[in-house]
Amino acid sequence: MSFADTQSVAAADLNNMLRGLKRDNTTYSVTGTTAETDMASLSITAGAIGATGGLHVIAAGTITNVGSGAKDIKLYLGATVIATVSRTAANAQDWQIEAWCFNTAANAQRWKVVFSTADAVTLSGDYTTSAIDTASTQTLKLTGDLADATDTITQTIFTVFLVQVT
């Protein structure tokens, strides 16, 4: 939806362009296991994104290191891994993932992802594509995976916006 320079934006217009799907600031921790564990998830209803819509995902948290094993945080849409934050350093660190997804068709996405690499302020970016059928219901989720069960991954922010671009 485009606007002339002289027009104002009404709340109804903004609701059609950007809508919050989930805001979860609850603390979820993965510890005491070496199995990949869901920390947050959201069911994206079939067709909600549309052929030209998208998603904006913001996730963040902390890592506590006791056993110095590998620690991975992954963002999935359906069964496809969109981004991975990996840590092996022997100290406590923050982490973050920010992802923008844009459908070019109901079953074709372009992703721009920014994620932390060494701490929450050392960032890396990635561009990737996926072929996930958003005309069917899909699960967007964040997981934690520990090589050493004495380590801890904590997720404290998981926010998802639906973006409608026309």
CATH of the domain at 147: 2.60.120
pLDDT at 86: 87
Higher-confidence position of 76 and 123: 76
Query: Looking at the domain assignment, is residue 20 inside a domain?
Result: no
Query: Looking at the domain assignment, is residue 13 inside a domain?
Result: no
Query: Looking at the domain assignment, is residue 6 inside a domain?
Result: no
Residue 75 domain boundaries: 25-163
How many domains is the chain partitioned into structurally? 1
Query: Looking at the domain assignment, is residue 69 inside a domain?
Result: yes
pLDDT classification of 65: cutoffs 50, 70, 90: confident
Query: Looking at the domain assignment, is residue 149 inside a domain?
Result: yes
Query: Looking at the domain assignment, is residue 10 inside a domain?
Result: no
Query: Looking at the domain assignment, is residue 18 inside a domain?
Result: no
pLDDT classification of 22: cutoffs 50, 70, 90: confident
Distance (Å, whole) CA 82 – CA 40? 15
SS3 state of residue 85: strand
pLDDT at 164: 84
Distance (Å, whole) CA 121 – CA 24? 22
Q: What is the pLDDT of residues 23-58, one digit of tens each?
A: 888 999 999 999 999 999 999 999 999 999 999 999
Query: Across the chain, where does the E strand assignment appear?
Result: 18-24, 28-31, 37-44, 54-64, 71-77, 80-87, 93-105, 108-116, 123-130, 138-146, 152-163
Q: Does residue 11 register a pLDDT over 70?
A: no
Q: Does residue 2 register a pLDDT over 50?
A: no
Higher-confidence position of 20 and 34: 34
pLDDT at 17: 67
pLDDT classification of 12: cutoffs 50, 70, 90: low
